[in-house]
Structure 1
Amino acid sequence: MTEAERAEFGIEGGWAMVRRHRIRWSECDQFAHANNAAYLLLAEDLRVSHWLAIGGRFALDQPGPLVAQMEARYLRSVAFDDEVAVTLRPATLRRTSFTHDYAVWKQGLVFSSRAVLVSAVPSTGEKVPLSPAIRARLIAEGAKEEG
């Protein structure tokens, strides 16, 4: 992330990924404000990109990150055609799970979220330990190991 992006969107703190996004009409309610679900979809898009970027794959018979829990804080609204920055950072990790922090920025923080992700095989739901390579990438991006 560049210093210009930090200044333009008011981004604070360290983040592993950042993506610009222009709010589409389909993401808005009848008042042209971004719908609450739109913020969660922005986080999902970044989560998928991040998983691929750190060497993960998506297949029914391969472990992938399944959302187990998500909390969200809506601080200020954004509206149709607003340009925002969406950020992601790994926060913590355990043997079969990890957390991501997400944020949406427009002249400062407008939304924040934390997701608990479980490494599991989608076709069976079986929990699988994170691979050494994925663990190393998450730690390199700032994730802290928990018991």
Structure 2
Amino acid sequence: MRWSDLDAFGHVNNARFLTLYEEARVALMFDAAREAGVTSLEQGVVIYRHEVDYLRPVGYGRPVRIDMWLEEIRPSRFVVAYELFDGEVVASRARSVCVPFDLAAGRPRRLSDAEREFLKPWLGPA
């Protein structure tokens, strides 16, 4: 956690949780996908929806960990689920609906077969 992540009450600001979830999601779609030979996710994925439950405040200086998995893969979207841990306690749960997007055409697109195959091992419990 960075000092600038804190709110007036000395807790991590609620908007920063989304930044932490974004960093985990980007590591999957850019780093892990690239290592698997899939680079098309880097070319465009947009967020259709975020849902965040804030279960407890997180203070400065404490280590956090994010567990992440996919709840669902559909032809033109996938749902990423997360849990943010403050030490060993779940401090937040979230979901992001991600839509593959053709930036040049300015419209959503379907997942490719290669993208679906890459994402399948990340499917977790319903």
Alpha-carbon distance in structure 2 between the residues aligned to 1:108 and 1:143: 20
Matched, 1:75 2:50: no
**More helix by percentage:** 2
CA–CA distance in structure 2, aligned partners of residues 84 and 72 of structure 1: 16
Post-superposition CA distance 1:111-135 (Å, at most 9, x none): 0100101111234431111111110
Q: CA deviation at 1:90?
A: 1.3
* Cα distance, 1:142–1:58 mapped onto 2, change above 3 Å: closer
CA distance in 1, matches of 2:58, 2:7: 11
Of 14, 21, 33, the residue aligned with 1:43 is 21
- Deviation, 1:31, is 2.0
Q: TM-score when scaled to structure 1?
A: 0.74
Q: Show structure 1 runs of 4+ deviating over 4 A.
A: none
**Mapped contact 1:66–1:120 kept (Cα < 8 A):** yes
Note the residue ranges of structure 1 that are not aligned, 5 or more in a row: 1-22
Indicate conservation of the 8 Å contact 2:21/2:82, yes or no: yes
Match among 24, 36, 50 for residue 2 of structure 2: 24
User: Matched residue pairs, number?
Assistant: 119
Answer yes or no: is the 8 Å Cα contact 1:25–1:32 preserved in 2: no
Flag the structure with more relative contact order, 1 or 2, with Cα contacts below 8 A and sequence separation at least 6: 1
C-alpha displacement of 1:35? 0.2
Unmatched tracts of structure 2, length 5 or more: none
Paired-residue identity, %: 29
Normalization by structure 2: what TM-score?
A: 0.85
Give 2:90's match in structure 1, choosing from 104, 109, 126: 109
Alpha-carbon distance between aligned partners in 1 of 2:120 and 2:70, rounded to the nearest angstrom: 8
* Aligned partner (choices 53, 71, 86) of residue 66 of structure 2: 86
**Do the aligned partners of 1:89 and 1:101 also contact (CA within 8 Å) in 2?**
yes
In structure 1, give the amino acid aligned to 2:70: P
Change (3 A) 1:132 1:38: same
